[in-house]
Amino acid sequence: MLDFLVLMGISLALFAIGIAGVATNKHFIIIMLSIELILVASMIAAVSYFSYLVSPGGTGIVLLISIWSVAAVEIITLVAFYVYMKHIGYDFDVTRLSKLKW
C-alpha cells in the first residue's frame, strides 16, 4: 500500500510540474516536453494502480519500463525535429506564429 501511495504522489507531482510548464511557457519545445511529462505521469499512475490491483509480479514494472522507453523515443524524435527546424530558421515562439494568433 505504501508503494502505491508513493507512486501516486510522484505521479501527482510530475503532473503538476507538467501543467505548470504548459501554463507558464510560450516556447514550443517546453510546451511539448511538459505535455510529455503529463503523459508519463498519467502512465505512472495507471501502472501503479494496475499493479496494486493485480497479484504481485513483474507485469506492472515491465509495463512501466516499456512506457518509459516509448516516451524516450518520443523525446528523441522531438529533439531531432527541433534541431532540424532551427537549422532551417523556423521560430518556435508560439506568440510569433501568425496562424495561431486570434
More confident residue, 58 or 4: 4
Instruction: Choose the weakest-confidence range: 2-6, 23-27, 51-55, 98-102.
Output: 98-102
Asked if residue 28 has pLDDT above 60, the reply is: yes
**Rounded distance, CA 89 to CA 87, Å?**
5
Sign, Cα dihedral of 53, 55, 61, 62 = negative
Radius of gyration for the chain, computed over Cα atoms and rounded to the nearest angstrom: 17
* Cell 510546451 -> residue: 31
Q: Looking at the DSSP assignment, which residues form a beta bridge with residue 27?
A: 93
Q: Which domains does the chain have, with CATH numbers?
A: 2-96 (1.10.287.3510)
- Cα 41 from Cα 94, distance rounded (Å): 25
pTM for the complete prediction? 0.62
DSSP H or E segment with residue 50: helix 28-53
